[in-house]
Structure 1
Amino acid sequence: MPNILLIEDEPSLGLIVKDSLESRGFAVQLAADGEAGLRLFRQQCPDMVVADVMMPKLDGFSLAEQIRRENAAVPILFLTARSQPADVVRGFELGGNDYLKKPFSMDELIVRIKAQLSRPPAAVPAPAGPLAIGRYQFDHPKQKLRFGAHEETLTNREAELLKRLYDQRNRVLERSVVLRDLWGDDSFFNGRSLDVFITRLRRCLKEDPQVQIVNVRGIGYKLIW
């Protein structure tokens, strides 16, 4: 039985979602604020976290940031009425896996939860040194990108995207594949978010002109050097 940690500060909505998920075969732990949710996360080690963004004591984004310091794999789905693109991008930057806007249907929430839980866990690579990208050194586990004495810390999603580009170096990384893998689906809105992340990675890699992330129109991106 999948164990879901639900963090929602609206008592009535929290209970409705909890009851609905339990009726579909999920075990649910409910917390009413971010601090309580973080305590439950550490105690219960849930299979997935479903969290509101605007909460007292510790907001959902700060909660996700803390969880990602401790666990890089557990899926995190945000529930929120905040729909500005910057909010959505920030949620993904901090390691969120999906984003569902309020009001939402329970059927859609359950489909999204099942989609996250059905993904195979990422393989844990054997310890290795930094990866060479031109004159850069990329430490994927630590999310660090170094050029000479300069070191930049990447977000979780930036590091995952750069790793996939590296693994496909000199070959095309298809947009649809990376969107389904890192964003959950290849919708237009998520595609715009991916474009923002590609622009940021290009900026991070600009010191070595031989390193380029090339657009392959209509298909995806290619990392070359």
Structure 2
Amino acid sequence: MQKVNLLLVEDEPFLAKVTKESLEQLNYSVVHATDGKKAFSIFQNQLFNLCIIDVMLPQTDGFTLVKQIRALGSQVPILFLTSRVATKDVIEGYQSGGNDYLKKPFSLEELYLRIAELIKRFDSKVITKEEILMIGRYHFVASKQTLQNGTDLVRLSHRETQLLKLLYEHKNALLERKQALITLWGDDSFFNTRTMDVFITKLRKHLSSDRDVEILNVRGIGYKLIC
């Protein structure tokens, strides 16, 4: 069974070391970052089941980091660890996109329970092989809105994910333009047609590193995903 992947963002060395080692003893896989800027870079290039984030961080503070993560469209559960216990700070934590708030100092036992509960609540299970759709050399996971080729990972928007999934369901066959528009946008107006063309262009760019993958435009009729 694959491990659950956690991102720990904590700049206090001793606390980070104890927390990371304790979680690894429980069979979690833990990636540690010491500042918000580095953490965001790591998050964009790896898949995580849950993030544990301190608020007072160098480079980028925890609240801002979580806003950046949510701006990517990610719904990964996030647990704040912080000594900032004022009500306004707790409120800001939730408003920024956090899902739970554990005040320092905390017991490791309580941390374990909070992590387990968040993972259970958000059904943040490890990705199974059945969830990974192969598009050429790309691994496409619709539930995570990710497209990955080796170490290169793209976090797709919700609409990009919907459109790519629809194309995949019709791979190597014609997806009629009208069908796609009705399914995803609700009507086939001129504005929605132009909008879909923009998303097709974005998906072509995301898939451009594999020459065996193409999204063909069948003029006036629709699109065909070749893979």
Query: Scaled by the length of structure 1, what TM-score is found?
Result: 0.54
Q: Which runs of 4+ in 1 moved over 6 A?
A: 122-126
The structural deviation recorded for 1:67 is 0.2
Count of equivalent residues: 129
CA deviation string 1:49-98 (max 9, x = no partner): 10000011000000000000013310010000000000000110111000
What secondary structure, in the 3-state scheme, does the structure 1 residue paired with 2:66 have?
Answer: helix
CA deviation string 1:117-142 (max 9, x = no partner): 1124599898568xxxxxxxxxxxxx
**AA aligned opposite 2:57:** M
For the residues of structure 2 that align with 1:86 and 1:104, how far apart are their CA atoms? 20
**AA aligned opposite 2:80:** F
Pairing 1:86–2:88 present: yes
**Is this contact kept in 2: 1:76–1:96, CA < 8 A?**
yes
State the partner residue of 1:144: none
For the residues of structure 2 that align with 1:5 and 1:114, how far apart are their CA atoms? 14
For the residues of structure 2 that align with 1:121 and 1:71, how far apart are their CA atoms? 17
State the partner residue of 1:195: none
CA deviation string 1:3-55 (max 9, x = no partner): 00000000111010000000011000000000111111111121111000001
Q: Which of residues 40, 51, 54 in structure 1 aligns to 2:53?
A: 51
Q: Which runs of 5+ in 1 are unaligned?
A: 130-225
For the residues of structure 2 that align with 1:90 and 1:72, how far apart are their CA atoms? 19
**Is this contact kept in 1: 2:77–2:122, CA < 8 A?**
no
Q: Which runs of 5+ in 2 are unaligned?
A: 125-142, 144-157, 163-182, 187-227
What secondary structure, in the 3-state scheme, does the structure 2 residue paired with 1:21 have?
Answer: helix
For the residues of structure 2 that align with 1:128 and 1:56, how far apart are their CA atoms? 42
39-48 vs 120-129, greater mean Cα deviation: 120-129
Q: Assess, with a 3 A threshold, how the Cα gap between structure 1 residues 120 and 57 changes in structure 2: closer, same or farther.
A: closer
Task: Say what the alpha-carbon RMSD is for the aligned residues.
Answer: 2.1
67-76 vs 12-21, greater mean Cα deviation: 67-76
